[in-house]
Structure 1
């Protein structure tokens, strides 16, 4: 269970700081005021980076001791590969100001993360998968709702469709490159096999 403990600790350290605006926004504001924005961001980034390293390490360790929860049908791997395509588009749209996607969703990165996590939950059935993808799905869905309540609607009155077209095109290209060339070597699982 050491591997799963490392994974859970990593998830807590990574998702914990990212959840402060959901559960402790006033406390977060007081800490930023007390420490200064740069120092706060440095601490935040350091904790999240350690968490991410532990998530990657812990998830890798769990492959040696998988605890099966369910056996996903083979077709769910293909469905997950297809569902991650719009997730990539949403991730790109998060960084392109002036898009209809961003104006409508306001937080396309969180929506993309939720879709990515959901897709991977469909195709993977170990305890580590449930912890990793279930944790990211729960966090991103909760943060999406929280952020939309916290922030006013977008001020973009006439989003430019060319920005959306750019997001879709770049998202498709990024998805294709990642799926074809990077997912297998980095994650150890080719998505279309």
Structure 2
């Protein structure tokens, strides 16, 4: 199917990410699935469509934008370490500034965790993932794929900030100031944080192992 499948996967990807969160659609879905059910269903759908999109990019006609070199594989190998740690430290944690936060009413701006480093850690992880993977994938389809994700992540933070400021009103700036005054690193790591860091390391190892099965390419040199 070549480019046709790639274009179709792109269209479905953006539709699946934009339609369920529209103000006229999301409340209807949450009323039937519940808040947690909606988050799980939305996340599962996003992963399935993302896997299809990546696969479609691999099946698109190969048009080289730059030549491959052995050193390029070390870029994603290195960058995926912090990506996995960021994901482990941010998923299902309170974060009223961004999407995907859980139990935001329990957010403590004096102990913001990963939010002290980034208001949008999931978007940061997405940007790092995409930028790192574009280096060893210099064909046109993958340059479009990963370049779009990187741009989406960088611009998405501004869009989320705008929406959250409108929703939270003056509280957005007050809470942001309190987060900025918090230490970047806690005096000690809680058991929960240590478990999350361990989960991040495990995720990295799992991705190394599963990458050939999921995407047909080994990430190792």
2:26 & 2:199 partners in 1: Cα distance?
Answer: 35
Deviation at 1:49, TM superposition (A): 6.9
2:160 aligned residue (147, 150, 153): 147
Worse-matched range after superposition: 127-136 or 7-16: 7-16
Output one character per residue of 1:20-73: Cα deviation in whole Å (capped at 9) or x when no partner. Answer: 69xxx8xx213445x45346959x9497577446414422422xx311111132
Give the structure 2 partner of residue 127 of structure 1: 140
Asked if residue 116 in structure 1 is aligned to residue 115 in structure 2, the reply is no
Deviation at 1:147, TM superposition (A): 1.6
Kept after mapping to 1: 8 A contact 2:64/2:138: yes
Structure 1: tracts of 5 or more residues without a match: none
CA radius of gyration, larger in: 2
1:110 & 1:124 partners in 2: Cα distance?
Answer: 21
After superposition, the CA RMSD in angstroms is 3.3
Equivalent residue pairs, number: 182
Give the structure 1 partner of residue 107 of structure 2: none
Q: What's the secondary structure of 2:93's corresponding residue?
A: coil
Asked if residue 75 in structure 1 is aligned to residue 71 in structure 2, the reply is yes
Flag the structure with higher helix content: 1
Deviation at 1:4, TM superposition (A): 2.3
Q: What's the secondary structure of 2:85's corresponding residue?
A: helix
Distance 1:73 1:53, change over 3 A: closer
Output one character per residue of 1:109-163: Cα deviation in whole Å (capped at 9) or x when no partner. Answer: 1110110000001111011211221121121222123223332356876877435
Q: TM-score, normalised by structure 2?
A: 0.67
Q: What's the secondary structure of 2:143's corresponding residue?
A: helix
Q: How does 1:153-164 map to 2 (within 5 A)?
A: 153=175, 161-162=189-190, 163-164=192-193
Q: TM-score, normalised by structure 1?
A: 0.75
Distance 1:39 1:53, change over 3 A: farther
2:57 aligned residue (51, 56, 59): 59
Structure 2: tracts of 5 or more residues without a match: 95-111, 165-171
Worse-matched range after superposition: 132-141 or 163-172: 163-172
